[in-house]
């Protein structure tokens, strides 16, 4: 599933490709994936609208429209946003929603497994994804993170995945940040020392930033808006590396299950 770095990469690519374009036509091929504002139909709110800005909130791509409404897209497991040049005859395979712009270019929302969603939000709708703080924002300070863990008994890895606390971290970057900080993923959050919390805060930001620079991690179907794979899979220390030597201490990476999610870590250097 695309996490913060992948969604950020997609959003930046889309911003280059579609900002300023105006929607001429909307074709919804699978109604369940396109949700209109509060009971209103999806298509009419989009036709004639100019895409002003493309950004990201948590794991959502958020496209701002000239009317003040927003189109929020969650890719879930296999969703892709693919821009097609004018004159392309066939939409991208598994396209569920197709936007055609006035210049003839198109945006395909394609999704093999159909879990992804497009939500059109009316102007003024207070929707804010799941509400967690953005881990690369100025507000996510080391002190703020230290305080967030007070009294939290959930395993630290599960805490990192909670989108109502911190937005955008998924399984890959939770595993990698905990490895970088030298922290065992199953540790109850409140038992982390203050220095360990500060290390983890730094590791979360560092891992996410490095992954954005590498244009995300492609361990599955992930491609960006230009159809390109990311590069961070070549820098992963633990995720998906069962049995391989830990880059820091050489002990074999293990896989356990925490909160029903596969978790890769090193018994040698994560305490
Ligand atoms: Zn190790």
Say what the pLDDT of residue 227 is: 84
Distances (CA, A) of 265 to 4, 25, 179, 200: 21, 48, 6, 15
Q: Are 23 and 43 in contact (CB under 8 A)?
A: no
Work out the percent of the chain whose per-residue pLDDT is above 90: 93
Catalytic residue among 229, 248, 255, 261: 261
**Considering the chain, what is the average pLDDT of its residues?**
96
Global confidence as pTM: 0.95
Q: Are 23 and 47 in contact (CB under 8 A)?
A: yes
- Clarify whether 5 is annotated catalytic: no
pLDDT at 239 over 90: yes
Q: At what angle do helices 194-213 and 171-181 cross, to 10 degrees?
A: 130
Distance 248 CA to ligand 1 centre (A): 5
Helix ranges (H only) for the chain are 4-18, 142-148, 156-161, 171-181, 194-213
- Clarify whether 59 is annotated catalytic: yes
Distance 184 CA to ligand 1 centre (A): 11
Catalytic residue among 2, 91, 155, 185: 2
Distance 271 CA to ligand 1 centre (A): 10
Please tell me the distance from the alpha carbon of residue 124 to that of residue 171, in angstroms, as a whole number: 32
Distance 135 CA to ligand 1 centre (A): 25
Q: SS3 for 70? A: strand
pLDDT at 220 over 80: no
* Sign of the four-CA dihedral 12, 235, 180, 178: positive
Distance 69 CA to ligand 1 centre (A): 48
Strands of the chain (E only): list them: 23-28, 34-35, 51-57, 60-65, 70-74, 79-84, 95-101, 106-111, 117-121, 253-258, 261-266
Work out the percent of the chain whose per-residue pLDDT is above 70: 100
Q: b or e along 54-74 (b: 16 or more beta carbons within 10 Å of the residue's beta carbon)?
A: bbbbbbbbbbbbeeebbbbbb
Question: pLDDT tens across 133-156, in order?
Answer: 999 999 999 999 999 999 999 999
- Clarify whether 56 is annotated catalytic: no
Catalytic residue among 21, 56, 57, 59: 59
Q: Are 254 and 247 in contact (CB under 8 A)?
A: no
pLDDT at 222 over 90: no
Distance 250 CA to ligand 1 centre (A): 6
Distance 16 CA to ligand 1 centre (A): 40
- Clarify whether 157 is annotated catalytic: no
Q: Alpha-carbon Rg of the chain, whole angstroms?
A: 20
Question: pLDDT tens across 178-194, in order?
Answer: 999 999 999 999 999 99
Phi, then psi, of 254 in degrees rounded to 5: -110, 165
pLDDT at 39 over 80: no
């Amino acid at each position: 599933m695309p996490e913060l770095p992948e969604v950020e990469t997609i959003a930046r690519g889309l911003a280059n490709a579609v900002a300023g374009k105006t929607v001429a036509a909307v074709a919804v091929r699978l109604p369940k994936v396109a949700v209109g504002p509060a009971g209103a139909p999806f298509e009419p709110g989009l036709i004639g609208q100019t895409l002003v800005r493309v950004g990201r909130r948590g794991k959502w791509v958020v496209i701002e429209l000239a009317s003040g409404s927003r189109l929020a897209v969650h890719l879930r497991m296999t969703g892709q946003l693919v821009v097609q040049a004018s004159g392309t005859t066939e939409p991208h395979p598994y396209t569920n929603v197709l936007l055609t712009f006035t210049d003839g270019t198109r945006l395909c929302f394609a999704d093999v497994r159909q879990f992804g969603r497009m939500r059109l939000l009316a102007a003024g709708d207070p929707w804010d994804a799941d509400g967690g703080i953005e881990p690369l924002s100025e507000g996510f300070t080391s002190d703020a993170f230290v305080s967030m863990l007070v009294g939290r008994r959930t395993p630290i890895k599960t805490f990192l995945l909670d989108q109502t606390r911190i937005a955008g971290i998924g399984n890959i970057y939770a595993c990698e940040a905990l490895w970088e900080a030298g922290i065992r993923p199953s540790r109850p959050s409140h038992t982390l020392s203050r220095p360990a919390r500060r290390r983890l805060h730094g590791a979360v930001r560092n891992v996410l930033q490095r992954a954005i620079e590498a244009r995300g991690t492609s361990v599955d179907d992930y491609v960006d808006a230009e159809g390109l794979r990311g590069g961070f899979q070549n820098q992963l220390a633990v995720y998906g590396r069962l049995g391989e030597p830990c880059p820091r201490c050489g002990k074999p990476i293990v896989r356990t299950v925490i909160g029903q999610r596969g978790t890769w870590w090193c018994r040698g250097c994560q305490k």
